[in-house]
A and B are shown apart, each in its own frame.
Chain A
């Protein structure tokens, strides 16, 4: 071919997506943004830094968001990261947003939530269902550094939000009249706008609520008020309060999507936040692990360093491996939003259910190594107890753990009958941390799935030639165990009675959702390692050691008793824990160079 002389890109990270829709240079922009945020926030272990762990703990003690932190994020124009490129912002890839926010979350969960993620949670409703004018208005607020509150929650109804009472009644003169209260709403008192989940029809059911995007400016101030702030166990700097409206008039243009589409919008839009939020907290647990590694290397007990005590070493290695598992599931879920939007409903719910749970368990394990120091509120290790108090907030909010399981449970029997052991494996692009992606197809997010390419990756992995090394054989044995587990989950799911496919399902159905989520995490880790092996870009991720360790821990969580791993697995993982500590590389799939 005469045109065959056109040079091919040799830079693996800038390869275009197979369908060619990704804007070139995505990965370079992502890496630059992550580094920029890290640099601006500075070394958190340096007490002279106004954003050091010590100062962040002080702000928490005072019950305030760190002012210097908010200023830094303003300067970084972080709000633009929540705005899709099509709306003039810089949100290209959901996995990139996770990486960027991880830099904030490793320092302070309260800042991550209170500055930004709350606004993102509100925004996804408008990106998914809003009209051009609403999207433009929201983009303007966020890129200008403003905040938007997501006001769904009413204490009386929890995640059962089709029972919500807060009302938007059509007014005779046009528009709506708002009446009622929303409670425990982040930034309610200082947001420029609120996304209000409102009852627009008194009838029971799922067509009686609508989403309203209401700007604060221009409202009759005599008709609404901010409710008193809540005091909380963690994220004490967050401004959690409420709103009460009494016949407050808002324009008809506030309605997002069609009247009665509120539940529909919420169930689709929140797939983005369910997929993305949990992975941000990988940064929080990264800090906890780093803190304990530092402690273990410096502290001497029984005439040796804590790091030489086998239980401590194993705990730290286990924590690192669990972070890689969490990041693998987070990667698959966020990239699925772009690549498999029709399948994301279950996958995002599984991520929001499992990742905060694993991260919380990891923090608990690490606290045992830290000993009495984990209970101290200040000093060198003070950030640990703050992260320990802050992290559980991720399991709350608009999709609590049980609510996420309740999203998965009704879909299990259908997946069991139609998908598992039949579907094609997920595309390779799902598992490549640096590969480019097409835009987020907001209009293709579906309420229910029925397909599952991710677990098919696990099933396909069982079909490989006999392994040459002990580590590879360990991986193969574990894959076989997990495929058997999927078979059992399939049988149990097929047998679920109709009453066990509702929010009122029995505990056994919730246990099935838990087992399935663990299998999705295992599938993600398998996919990540397969692609790393193929790409040859990351020697550690291509190594079977971490995968063997990850699958072993998952199998044990599933109640299996897998054979002991070769000693080389522990050694390889331990070596990497130390290497990344000394080289200041992040404890996730990216090994990102950190300033501190």
Chain B
């Protein structure tokens, strides 16, 4: 799965998240409604922790391991990550 090489946008993050979550759930990305809680698709609490690890690895961004619990849909999580990227860039961390 390609990792975005340019600065992420809400749109690219939404696509990336839907694709990654689809892999976790062995579904098609198109089946993941960005406004439906991930737990409703059967993404368990531990897999949600894994997802946050993937985000850290692929985007080189440190986030709370529970981010996917607190922002439980694709849209909510993408929005949260955009805010984190902005904060990270503002601190000179780069993304």
Q: Which residues of A line the B interface, CB within 8 A? A: 160, 162, 203-207, 263-264, 267, 406-407, 410-411, 414, 417, 446-448, 450, 497-499, 501-504
Contacts and interface: CB of A to CB of B under 8 A. Distances in A.
12 contacts: A162-B45, A205-B37, A206-B72, A207-B70, A410-B46, A411-B50, A414-B57, A417-B57, A498-B20, A499-B23, A503-B46, A504-B42
Contacts of B39: 162, 204-206
B37 A203 contact: yes
A204 B24 contact: no
* Binding site secondary structure of chain B: helix
A204 B23 contact: no
Contacts of A448: 49, 53, 65
Given A206-B69, A207-B70, A263-B69, A502 B20 contact: no
B10 to A, nearest CB: 22
Contacts of B43: 502
A76 to B, nearest CB: 39
Given A162-B45, A450-B53, 4 more contacts: A203-B37, A206-B66, A410-B47, A448-B65
B44 interface: yes
B47 A501 contact: yes
A499 B25 contact: yes
A483 B49 CA distance: 28
A162 B26 CA distance: 21
Interface string B12-48: 0000000010011110000000000111101111111
Interface centre among B23, B49, B70 (most CB of A within 10 A): B49
A588 B39 CA distance: 44
A206 B53 contact: no
Interface residues on B, range: 20 to 34
Contacts of B44: 160, 162, 502-504
A203 B50 CA distance: 21
A160 B23 CA distance: 21
Contact of B23 (A207, A417, A447, A498): A498
Interface string B70-91: 1010000000000000000000
A447 B37 contact: no
A501 B20 CA distance: 12
Contacts of B49: 410, 447-448
A283 to B, nearest CB: 32
Given A204-B37, A497-B23, A502 B69 contact: no
A267 B48 CA distance: 13
Contact of B40 (A160, A204, A406, A501): A204
A205 B46 contact: no
A251 B43 CA distance: 33
A174 to B, nearest CB: 26
A395 B65 CA distance: 27
Nearest to B22: A498
A204 B72 CA distance: 9
A152 to B, nearest CB: 14
A205 B36 CA distance: 11
Contacts of A264: 66, 69
Contact of B53 (A205, A263, A414, A497): A414
B48 A206 contact: yes
A205 B23 contact: no
A162 B50 CA distance: 16
Interface string B46-71: 11111001100100000001100110
The 3 closest A-B pairs by CB, nearest first: A204-B39, A502-B47, A498-B23
B45 A263 contact: yes
A502 B46 contact: yes
A267 B65 CA distance: 12
Nearest to B26: A499
A498 B24 contact: yes
A59 B44 CA distance: 42
A411 B54 CA distance: 10
Nearest to A496: B50
Contacts of B57: 414, 417
Contacts of A501: 24, 47, 50
A434 B19 CA distance: 51
Contacts of A414: 53, 57
Given A204-B40, A207-B70, A502 B53 contact: no
Contacts of A407: 46
Nearest to A209: B45
A448 B5 CA distance: 27
A450 B65 CA distance: 11
B72 A205 contact: yes
Contact of B45 (A203, A206, A411, A417): A206
Contacts of A503: 44, 46-47
B90 to A, nearest CB: 25
Nearest to B54: A498
A497 B39 CA distance: 20
Contacts of B69: 205-207, 263-264
A31 to B, nearest CB: 39
Contact of A406 (B20, B46, B72): B46
A262 to B, nearest CB: 11
A407 B50 CA distance: 10
B50 A410 contact: yes
Contact of B38 (A205, A450, A497, A504): A205
A419 to B, nearest CB: 12
A447 B66 contact: yes
Nearest to B41: A204
Nearest to A162: B45
B38 to A, nearest CB: 7
Nearest to A161: B45
A432 B25 CA distance: 44
B61 to A, nearest CB: 14
A209 to B, nearest CB: 10
B50 A447 contact: no
Contacts of B26: 499
Contacts of A446: 65
B24 A499 contact: yes
A265 B80 CA distance: 23
B27 to A, nearest CB: 10
Contacts of B40: 204
Contacts of B37: 203-205
